Structures are given as C-alpha cells and as structure tokens.
Structure 1
Amino acid sequence: MSSLLTNTSAMTALQTLQSTNKNLATTQNRIATGERVSTASDNAAYWSIATGMKAQSGALSAVKDSLGFGAAVVDTAVTGLEEGIKLAEQIMQKYVAREQDGVDTAAIDAEIVELKAQMVSIATSSDFEGQNLISAGGAAVNIVSSYTAAGGVTTVTVAAYDLEGESATMLDAASSQTALDAMRAAAATMGASKARIDSQLEFTGKLMDAIDRGVGVLVDADMNAESARLSALQTQQQLGIQALSIANQNSQSILSLFR
C-alpha cells in the first residue's frame, strides 16, 4: 500500500542512516583520541579501572622524581666521603712519618693542617640543592621510595655523617685510624643506600611501563581495525543517503497516479 502520510521506506532508511552516523561518530572519536574507552559511558568498568591505574601511574611518577633527587643527594655525599677518605689516609701517613726522628715536624704539621682544611672544604661543598649528608649541620634525608593505594607512601632514610667533625678527631696515627675506619663504615652504609635507591628507581620505571601497558589494553583503540571500520561506515553512510533519497522519491511517484 502506498501512503502519502506514512513513508515506511523513508523511515527505515532514516533509522539506518542515523545508526550509521552514530557508529561513524564513535569511530571518528576513537581515531581522534586513540582510545576506545575515553569516557565512562563507553565502558564504565574499564574506564573506572583505567582511571585508577592512571592515578597510580601519576603517583609513581612523583616517586620516581623523589628517588632521582634522593639518588643525587646520596651520590654527592658518597663522592665527597670517598675523597675525604683519601685525605684521611694521607693524614694518617703524615702522623706516622712525624714519629721518625730527624724529620721536619713543623712542615708535616703544616701539611696536616692543610689536609684537614681540605676535608672540611669537601664536607661543606658536598651539597645538592641544600641537602648535605656529610657536613657538620647535615641531617638525615627521607626519600619517598614507593606508593600503593593500599599501603600509602614508603620512605627510605639515609643517615648523615659528620665528616667535618670527624677531621677534628684526627690528632695522631691511632685516632686517625679510628676516624678512617668510621669514614669507611659510613661510606659503605651510604653506598648500600644508593644501590637500594638506584634499584628502586629502575623498578619504579618498569612498574610505570607495566601500568601504562595495562591501561592500553583496556582503553586503547586498535587503529588498524578502526581504519577499516571507518571506510566501511563511510560507504554505508553514502548508501544510506542514497536509500533515503530513493525512499523519498516514492512520494513523488504517487502524484503520477493523479495525472
């Protein structure tokens, strides 16, 4: 039955075209954003998980920055302490040489004074952005090492060592040996802390990569598939427009019945 008021073919063609346009808009959005789940309405479960994982990745980025800063502070201190140990060894040698009869003790004492002054200079200059672990006023530094939603923030504490004050205790060969042993122990402790920080820094980077891959699996669009879908939908859209045009022409054919 042909009806002038109700064009069933046009209605069907219009619904099909509207559906095609909707799918085409979705595909174009995926291509533009690179995501198949960009809003909660796309997939509420995946969007919620991905949002939480992105937040964790952001927190880990801050952890990575903290570890990098902490590694630089400790590395600066270890470098200064190693140089201080070399000077302490020279001081101890001078004290031993001073015990030999006939040597110029005044000259040796002058050398010792200069070596101690150099130790103090190294201690005070081993500073990184206001953080100094081996000066007289140095304090322990707390470094954020990890973060989890359940456990919160975890920190690593690196103790300070007063290299500047230690130089003042070197009064003879025996006390110099004691101070040297203390310096070596402090350097070993800081070195172990630096190794831990470096390891945690590497792990944090890998963990961030793993989280990003997990988010990608949930929300990233397959661009190859979307490209093929775009071509198909564009073809469907053109055919839908033609179908709607043909359906609308049916009303015009009714006029020929009255001529």
Structure 2
Amino acid sequence: MSSINTNASAMTALQSLSATNKNLSITQGRISTGLRVAEASDNSAYWSIATTMRSDNKALSSVQDALGLGAGRLDVAYTATNSAIDVVDKIKQKLVTAMSASEDDKLKIQGEIKELQGQLTSIGLSANYAGGNLIANDQTETELNIVSSYDRTADGTVKVNTITVDLSKTQLLDETGTDGGILADVMAIELDGTEDNDGIQAHLDTIEDALKQMADAAATLGAAKARVDMQKDFVSKLSDAIDRGVGQLVDADMNKESTRLQALQVQQQLGIQALSIANSNSQSILSLFR
C-alpha cells in the first residue's frame, strides 16, 4: 500500500543512516584521538583503571626524579670519600718516612702533612650536591631518605617507600672541614720534630683506624648508590610497562579503525541514496493524478 502520510521505506532508510552516522562519528573520534576509550561513557571500567594507572605513573615520574637526585648525592659523596682515602694514604706514607728522618726532616714532613690535611678539608667542603653534603656536615641529619617507590596494594591503599642511608657512618669531617667525624684525629696529627718512633707509630695507628672507617663509609655509600641505580632502572621499566598496559586498555587500533572508517563512509553514501530513493517513491503518486 502506498501512503502519503507514512513513508515506511524512508523511515527505515533514515534510521539506518542515523546509525551509520553515529558509528562514523565514533570511528572518526577514535582516529582523531587515537583512543578507543577516551571518556567514561566509552567504557567506564577501562576508563577508571586507565585513569588510576596514569595517575600512578605521574607519581612514578616524581620517584624517578627523587632517585636521580639521591644517586647524584651518593655519587658525589662516594667519589669524595675515595679521594680522601688516597690523601690519607699519602699521610701514612709521610709518617712512615718520618720514622727514619732527622728532626729537621720531620718538620719538613709536617709541612707536607699539613698541606695534605688542607686537601682533606677541600675535598670535604667540595662534596656538596643540591645543597647537601654527606661527608662534611654538622650531623643535624642522621639519615638520608631517598624516595624509591610508589606502591598500590590490592585494596587500593598506597605507600611511598624510601631507601635509607645512615649518615653517621659517612661523616668524615664537620661542617667547617677541620674537625669532627672519622678524620678528626687525622686532622689533629702534627709533628714537632721531637717525636720518637713510638709517637709516630701512634699516629700510624690513628691513620689505620681512620682508613678502616673510611673504607666502611665508602662501602656504605657504594652499596646505597648501587641499590638506587638498580631501583631507578626498575622504576623506568615499570613506568614503560604501565604505559603499555594503559595502551592495551584504551588505545585504538588505527589499522582497524581506518578500515572501518572507509566501510562506514561507503555505508553513509549508500544510506543517503536509499533515503533519496525512498523519498522519491511518494513523488510517483502524483503521476496517478495526471
């Protein structure tokens, strides 16, 4: 039956064209954003998971910055400690030489020792990084806490973990670089030319004790630096893995979407033609009245 009030064919064609246009709009949005799930209405579960993971990844970026800062401070302190060990070794050599030296030579050796002690001060005060010094300080800070991770448990709670370094084991000098810390007794060594071998031996015993403690300090700093470097590498890989995980949830398959776009464009053209044909059917009724 032909009716001028109801064009069923045109209604069907219009519904089909509307559905095609809607799918075309969705596909075009995915291609322009590169996302299959761009907002909560696309897939609330995936969107929620992706949003949380992106937020955690931003926190991991701050963790990487903190690890980089901590690695820098530890590296400077470790390098300075090793340099200080070399200088103390030279003081030990001078003392051994003084064992068989004359009074006048001992005074000359003392002049060399004083210069080496000045070098220790220079090393200690130069070991600054980002406003902090781990080997020459006033010990107001007894620990160095380096943010190492941002962890989320299964129940959704989060915790920030740190790598802790005991600074009481790494202090070589005080904040003036002339006293305090492991090198306090070494900085106090002074030959007046009258020392006998027993007196020089006492200084050598002081040197040996300081070298042992300095070796422990270097080991502490080296171990902490190695752990920070490993954690920094892990956090970097973890961040990349999270990015990939988010991508698998929300990224659009561009090959698939481009193919779908072409198909929908063809469907749109056919739908327009079908609607045009359906609308022209009612015009043929006019010919009956001619």
| TM-score normalised according to structure 1 size | 0.96
In 2, Cα distance between equivalents of 1:4 and 1:87: 106
1:162 maps to amino acid: Q
Question: Which residue does 1:162 correspond to in 2?
Answer: 171
SS in 2 for 1:101: coil
Are the equivalent residues in 2 in contact too, given 1:93–1:173 (CA < 8 A)?
no
1:163 maps to amino acid: L
1:116 maps to amino acid: Q
2:124 maps to amino acid: A
1:131 maps to amino acid: G
SS in 2 for 1:204: helix
Structure 2 residues not aligned, in runs of 5+: 174-179, 190-202
1:133 aligns with 2:134: yes
Q: How does 1:24-43 map to 2 (within 5 A)?
A: 24-43=24-43
Are the equivalent residues in 2 in contact too, given 1:17–1:240 (CA < 8 A)?
yes
1:5 aligns with 2:12: no
In 1, Cα distance between equivalents of 2:85 and 2:33: 57
Question: Which residue does 2:149 correspond to in 1?
Answer: 146
Cα deviation, residue 45, structure 1 = 1.1
Question: Which residue does 1:58 correspond to in 2?
Answer: 58
In 2, Cα distance between equivalents of 1:251 and 1:124: 96
| Greater mean alpha carbon deviation, residues 150-159 or residues 221-230 | 150-159
SS in 2 for 1:156: strand
Give the share of equivalent positions with the same residue, in percent: 56
SS in 2 for 1:104: helix
Cα deviation, residue 101, structure 1 = 3.2
2:19 maps to amino acid: S
Question: Which residue does 2:232 correspond to in 1?
Answer: 201
1:224-256 CA distance string (max 9 Å, x none): 100100000011111111111111111211111
SS in 2 for 1:137: coil
In 2, Cα distance between equivalents of 1:65 and 1:101: 54
Are the equivalent residues in 2 in contact too, given 1:147–1:153 (CA < 8 A)?
yes
Structure 1 residues not aligned, in runs of 5+: none
Are the equivalent residues in 2 in contact too, given 1:120–1:163 (CA < 8 A)?
no
Are the equivalent residues in 2 in contact too, given 1:87–1:119 (CA < 8 A)?
yes
1:4-44 CA distance string (max 9 Å, x none): 11111111111111100100011011111111011111111
Number of matched pairs: 259
In 2, Cα distance between equivalents of 1:128 and 1:101: 42
In 1, Cα distance between equivalents of 2:259 and 2:138: 67
In 2, Cα distance between equivalents of 1:127 and 1:258: 101
Question: Which residue does 2:193 correspond to in 1?
Answer: none
| TM-score normalised according to structure 2 size | 0.86
In 1, Cα distance between equivalents of 2:123 and 2:3: 98
Question: Which residue does 2:121 correspond to in 1?
Answer: 120
Q: How does 1:87-102 map to 2 (within 5 A)?
A: 87-102=87-102
1:188 maps to amino acid: A
Cα deviation, residue 168, structure 1 = 3.1
1:167-202 CA distance string (max 9 Å, x none): 331122110111111111000011000011111111
SS in 2 for 1:153: strand
Question: Which residue does 2:80 correspond to in 1?
Answer: 80
In 1, Cα distance between equivalents of 2:288 and 2:138: 105
| Greater mean alpha carbon deviation, residues 160-169 or residues 37-46 | 160-169
2:71 maps to amino acid: A
SS in 1 for 2:146: strand
2:172 maps to amino acid: L
1:124-175 CA distance string (max 9 Å, x none): 1111110210113353321000111235100111222222233331122110
In 2, Cα distance between equivalents of 1:21 and 1:246: 18
